[in-house]
Amino acid sequence: MVMCVRVKVRYFARFRDIAGVSEEEFDIPDDAKVKDLIELIKKKHPKFNDEIFEQNEEADVNVSKNGRYVDFDEELREGDIIALFPPVSGG
């Protein structure tokens, strides 16, 4: 039996406009990685697929876990806070 873990996903800037929410929770298998979560997000929000992943390199999508940049192979654990956001533009 596959165990599930629950993670919180936060969206920022234009990605929040695309998701239509600023945060939501996902139940994922406990061996899931960031890239598996991204597949679930694309299913739930087809606009992500059309407007972000179809047209851009992965480099244009930033992912953080608990406040630190991670790559798409990062493993996820119960309670992790994942954020998805476009390239930053502070300063």
Partner 1 sequence: MLTKLFKKPEDFDINEAINLVSSRTTGGIVIFLGKVREESHGRRVKKLIYEAYEEMAMKEMKRIREEALQKFPIEEILIWHRYGELEVEENTILIVAAGKHRKESFEACIWAVDEVKKRVPIWKKEITDEGEFWIEGNKVRKA
To the nearest whole angstrom, how small is the minimum distance from the Cβ of residue 69 to partner 1? 8
Cα Rg for the chain, rounded, in angstroms?
A: 13
CB nearer to partner 1: pick between 14 and 44 = 14
Q: How far is it, in rounded angstroms, from Cα 29 to Cα 21?
A: 23
Binders of partner 1 among residues 15 to 34 (CB under 8 A) are 17
One character per residue 37-66, x = contact with partner 1 (rule: CB under 8 A): -----------------------x-x-x--
The first and second tokens of residue 3, run together, are: 């165990």
Using CB under 8 A as the binding rule, whether residue 69 contacts partner 1 is answered as: yes
* Distances, alpha carbon 30 to alpha carbons 2, 17, 61, 62, 64, in Å: 7, 29, 23, 22, 18
Q: Which residues bind partner 1 (CB under 8 A)?
A: 10, 12-14, 17, 60, 62, 64, 67-69, 83, 85-91
